Structures are given as structure tokens and as C-alpha cells.
A and B are shown apart, each in its own frame.
Chain A
Amino acid sequence: MKKLRLNKTSRTNFLTYGMVVVLFVVLQIMSGGGMLSSTMKGQLVPICAYVVMALSLNLTVGVLGELSLGHAGFMSVGAFAGAVTAAALQNAIPSGGLRLAVAMIIGALFAAVAGVLIGIPVLRLRGDYLAIVTLAFGEIIKSIINNLYIGMDAGGLHASLINNTIVLEEGGRMILSGPMGIPGITKISTFTAGFILIMLSLVIIFNLVNSRAGRAIMALRDNRIAAESVGINVTQYKMMAFVTSAALAGAAGTLFAMGQNTIIASKFDFNQSILILVFVVLGGQGRMWGSIIAAAALTILPELLRGFADYRMLVYAIVLILVMLATNNPTLSGFFSRLFGRFRKPQKGDAAR
């Protein structure tokens, strides 16, 4: 048997898994010992959802190298598909955990289908054109769900678009009511479920990246023409990355939705997509641990800034601009590297390291 040889990539991957496990255990203990405020406790599930969103978008932006401005659209598809599933299965599956798992799978599947439908036109385009079309799709998804009505009765699920034309039998109820969204959700998402989803996402992303398919995806990012010249099917691998990313976002959407009382479609808008993109860029493209930290920190930050009340979004904006300037301007980043000692600029090439 050959001795287990760990290269730099595997080491970083194991450290990332370790970091997530340690954070989970610490937060569980703190939560159990009453050391977390109720607001913080309430943030645990959304943090997990946003971490998975950031990880999945990093697959598109950092590993595949394509800019997506509509990632919240997949989250939305997953959130609504998952929440409708969970509501429909309320009586069929009494166990919350199992129901959540089924809902997440359905959410991921729906988001994956959306990913395929969007990927077909989007992945033919390049650069900024691709970005604007993902933005357009995000808005389309928002508009459609905003006008979608779903009800359930003994006869099964009924749906209608634009106007609520659903007539339900005795004992039936509306699940999704257009702009009103889905109210009265039974919260079945837990911090543990979130932790499992994060670990699962990491396994999928790391193992995908360090396989034949992942190499092909990164080859497309580094040099598309060279990748084609060695016989790599551009559409197939772009699609693989894009759809995997969409499916994970769908699962994250379900996790998020099942931790809320109410979800509405307009929550998953362009600004939400941008928020997730910010996590990825600040954490470093292709750097999964960076995405985890950025997503967690920036989800808590607005809560921590509650003291600033009205000023918190302003502070957020200023911090964002300053961080971008500090990390990307040669003069400023030189200044900060002297200030903080060894400071490494996140590089596109640090794929999944």
C-alpha cells in the first residue's frame, strides 16, 4: 500500500472540512449553553443557507469562470419547490427531518431543471452578455413565482398563473398565493440540517473539482480555445458546472425557506444575487473556505451593525467599496500588506484550494 500523500489541494480541502466541523461543534455548544442571543440563534439556519449559496455560486464564478447575476433565481426555485413539497407532504411524512430531506431533493431537482433551461441559451454567450442574461433570468423567475398560485386538496395540487383561478374542494387550502408567497411555514430546518448540507456541498464541489470533469471545467476557465483543442466538449462541461451549482442553490433555497415563517418571491431579487456574489468575490474566487467565512461574516454583520440602525446599510456599502479598493489597487494593497504583514491577494487561480 502506498503511503497516503497529501498535496496542497487535499490539505486545504481537509482543513476546510475541519473548519466547518469545529465551527458547528462550537456553535452547538454555545447554543446549548445559552451563550447565543435569540437573534443569533435565528441566524444560524440562514447562515448555513447563504454559505451553501456562496459555495455553489463559487462553482460557477470561481471554478467555471463565468459571471452569474441571477443566482438568487435558483435559490427561489428551490425555496418555493421545497416549501410546496414540504407543505404537501405535511401529513404523509410526519418526521420533520425526513420531510426536509425530501423537500431539499425536490428543491434541488427543480433548480437543476431551471439550470438546464437557462443554461441552454446562457452558456452560448460570453462574458458580460452571459452576465446580463443570468440577471434577466433571475428577474423572470421572480416575476413568474410572484404570479403563481398553488393550492392543494384531496384531488392533489392545483396551480394557476397570473390570476388565482383555483377552486379547491372542501378541506383544501392554498399553499402559494402569488405576491403573498407562502405564509405559515412549519419551520423544519435546523442548524444540524444546515451543517449536513454544507458538508455535502463541500464533498460534491471538492470531489467534482478534483476529478476528470472538474479539470475540464477549470480548463475551460483558463483557456477555452485550448480546452476545445484537446477535445473537451465546451457545452457539456459548462452545463455540468452550471447545473450542479443551480441544484446546490436549490437545496440551499429549501433550507432557507423551511427556516422562515413566510417566504415571498420578491425577496429573491437582483440584490439577493448580488449579495451572494459579494460573498464569493470577498472570499476569493475558487476559494471555498473564503466563501464560507465571507458568507457567514457578512450575514451576521448587518445584525452586529444593528447599533448603527439607519446607517448600517451605508456602512456596509462603504466597507464593500473600501475592501475592493484595498485588495485590488496596487498602491493600496501594498500599503495594507505592509500593515498586516503577509497578506495575499485572492487570485482567480486558487481554484478550490
Chain B
Amino acid sequence: MSAPKREPTKLVPVPSTNKIPERDIGRSPVLECRHLGIDFGGLTAVKDFDMAIGRTEIAGLIGPNGAGKTTVFNLLTKVYQPTRGTILLDGVDTHNMNTAQVNMAGIARTFQNIRLFDNLSVEDNVKLGLHNYIDYGMWSGIFRLPSYWKAEKAAHNQAMELLSIFHMEDMANAKAGSLPYGAQRRLEILRALATGPKLLLLDEPAAGMNPSETAELMENIVKIRDQFQIAVLLIEHDMSLVMGICEGICVLDFGQIIAKGTPEEIQNDPAVIKAYLGGRKE
């Protein structure tokens, strides 16, 4: 019998060389991915995705259409189970968690094609974000015990407070599905925020917004980060937004990272200009 043939083992650096903002260096990164990847059938959709995000960083994930950006979000939130690699959320490996558990562990997200609870009121949508902070059981609800009234009142106040961030208090009783597009996007952010995340994932938050709305959104993202002291990772095609507020940017093309760095580094990276901008100037 001969010894089985095997490929030579490739050694990879641990801890990684991923970068985070200097001010967050005192604490471990809120998220760190190593060699994250997924195959759909035989097709590799994302490969070797390595990234770290600091505690209060606003990070950007950009790349041409179909590069796999939303797939990365789906991997982070376990909508898809990764084929390879690890996700460390606040130092905890999430490989055993499902979407709901990942949320409870600290990742909240919005969706590219808005996913609100259309038939419920705006207030109920936010209250659903608060779901795991509302503390009474099914029977207290059915028999309307004191704990029901107390918890619901607290949830109402909290929901209103969150709605006030985007000045949406007077829409509280409207059906979420009947809101105008921009308000729906804002509500989705508030619902995610209500879950008390450490990391907020925003999938194209400025899609369909005009420049003045986008400018307001940029201010609000920074405001949310400052107020709640959380990290934000956003996918966005609007370069004014990405270059304006993101501190670390990651560029994805054909499922692989082709560049990482500050906005200045990204803007001058020849690989990015070639792959992402395709030689065009915007």
C-alpha cells in the first residue's frame, strides 16, 4: 500500500491582517470574516471573503452588479449557510446559528427589495423589531394580565422614540405597505435598529433617492452610528454616499475581494478602476 497522495497544505495567517479604524483598536472588531465563501451548485458565488469591522466603523461594500454583495449579507445573516469560512460576531463563531439567532446575537439588516410587514402598522413594524425586548408570554397576552399592559406601553413609547429619529411619529398608525418608497426604506432601518444590533447591515439604503434625500440619509446614518455607538456595513451604488461616509471600503468583483482600504485608496486603485468603473467616468 502506498501513502495516499495529498495536496500540500497552504498556511494562512491567523489573526488576520484585516484593518479597522484606529479609534476602535482598543476593542475587538465587531465582525470578522475569514475565508467566507458559498457555492451554488457548482458555481462559486463568493470566495475567500475576509473583512473586519470596528466597533463604531461605517464600512462600505461595493462592486458591480452581480458581484455577490447581497450574497455576503445573506451569509452574514445566515439566510444562506456558508460553504466555507468563519464569521466571528463580537468574537463568537456564528456557524451554529440561524437567521433569528444571528439577529439576537447582534446583526440587523435591511433588504435591497424592501421587506416590510406590509399589512401591519408602522408602529407594529417597529414593535416587531423590539420583539425580543418585550417581556410577556402568550397567556399574559390572551388574558390581558398587568404584565401585558406594562410591556406594551413601554414598547409603544420606545417605538415612538425610534420613529422620532426620522420624524415618522404621525405615520405610526398607517399600514407599512401604504407608505411612500422613501418612508418604507427609513422604516426598515428603524425596524432593524429596534432589534438593538451591534452591527447594522444596510442593503442599498439610498436606492431610488434623489441627491437631497441621499444627503439627508448620509447625515442620519452618521447620526445613528454616533447615537447608538454601533457599526454599519452598507452596500451602495451611490459613490457620493460611499465615499462621503464610509471609513473602510471593500470592493467585490465576481465574488472575490479585489481591493480594500480607505475611500482615497479605493478611488486610486487601478484594479478597482478597471473592474468596477470599467474605464468609464461617472
Direct contact of A and B (CB under 8 A): yes
**Interface SS majority for chain B:** helix
**Residues of chain B with a CB closer than 8 A to A212's CB:** 127, 131, 134, 136, 141, 151-152, 155
Which residues from chain A contact B132 at a C-beta distance below 8 Å? 231
Q: Give the distance in Å from the alpha carbon of A348 to the alpha carbon of B118 in the complex.
A: 11
Number of A-B residue pairs having CB atoms within 8 Å of each other in the complex: 107
- Cβ-based interface call for B116 (8 A): yes
Report the minimum CB–CB distance from A220 to chain B (whole Å): 9
* Chain A residue contacts of B111, Cβ below 8 A: 225-226, 229
A39 at the interface (CB under 8 A from B): no
- A345: Cβ under 8 A from any B Cβ: no
| A351–B119 touching, CB < 8 Å | yes
Most buried by B among A214, A215, A234: A215
Distance A234 CA – B78 CA, assembled complex (angstroms) = 14
Interface presence of A4 (CB below 8 A): no
**Which of A203-211, A254-262, A328-336 is the contact stretch?**
A203-211
Majority secondary structure, A binding face? helix
Query: At the interface, yes or no: B148 with Cβ under 8 Å from chain A?
Result: yes
Are A219 and B117 in contact, with the CB atoms below 8 A? yes
Contacts of A215 in B (CB 8 A): 120, 124, 127-128, 131
Once A212-B151, A216-B131 are accepted as A-B contacts, the answer to whether A231 and B119 lie under 8 Å apart by CB is no
A223 touches B115 (CB 8 A): yes
- Quick one: which of B99, B116, B177, B194 has the most chain A CB within 10 A? B99
Residue with the highest number of chain B CB atoms closer than 10 Å, among A210, A222, A234, A240: A222
Contacts of B134-179 to chain A: CB distance below 8 A: 134, 136, 138, 140-144, 148, 151-152, 155, 173, 175, 177
Q: Is the CB of A349 within 8 A of B175?
A: yes
- Interface status of A20 (Cβ within 8 A of chain B): no
Q: By the criterion CB–CB under 8 Å, are B141 and A214 in contact?
A: yes
Task: Give the shortest distance, in Å, between B165 (CB) and chain A (any CB).
Answer: 17
A226 touches B144 (CB 8 A): no
Contact with B along A58-88 (1 / 0, CB 8 A): 0000000000000000000000000000000
Q: Which residues of B contact A219 (CB under 8 A)?
A: 117, 120, 128
Contact flag A229-B173 (CB < 8 Å), given A207-B143, A212-B131, A212-B136: no
A349, B119: Cβ atoms under 8 Å? yes
Report yes or no: A229 in contact with B119, Cβ–Cβ below 8 A. Answer: no
A233 and B117 within 8 A (CB):
no
B79 CB contacts on chain A under 8 angstroms? 225, 228-229
In whole angstroms, how far apart are the Cα atoms of A210 and B120 in the complex? 11
The answer to whether the Cβ of B61 comes within 8 Å of any Cβ in the partner chain is no
Q: Provide a sorted-by-A list of 28 A–B residue pairs whose CB atoms are within 8 angstroms.
A: A211-B138, A212-B134, A212-B141, A212-B152, A213-B141, A215-B120, A215-B124, A215-B128, A219-B120, A219-B128, A222-B116, A222-B117, A223-B115, A225-B79, A225-B111, A228-B79, A228-B99, A229-B79, A229-B99, A229-B103, A229-B109, A229-B192, A230-B129, A230-B131, A232-B131, A233-B100, A349-B119, A350-B119
Report the 5 A-B pairs with minimum CB-CB distance, sorted nearest first: A211-B141, A349-B119, A231-B103, A226-B115, A228-B99
Residues of B in contact with A (beta carbons under 8 Å apart)? 77, 79, 98-101, 103-104, 108-109, 111, 115-120, 124, 127-129, 131-132, 134, 136, 138, 140-144, 148, 151-152, 155, 173, 175, 177, 191-192, 194-195
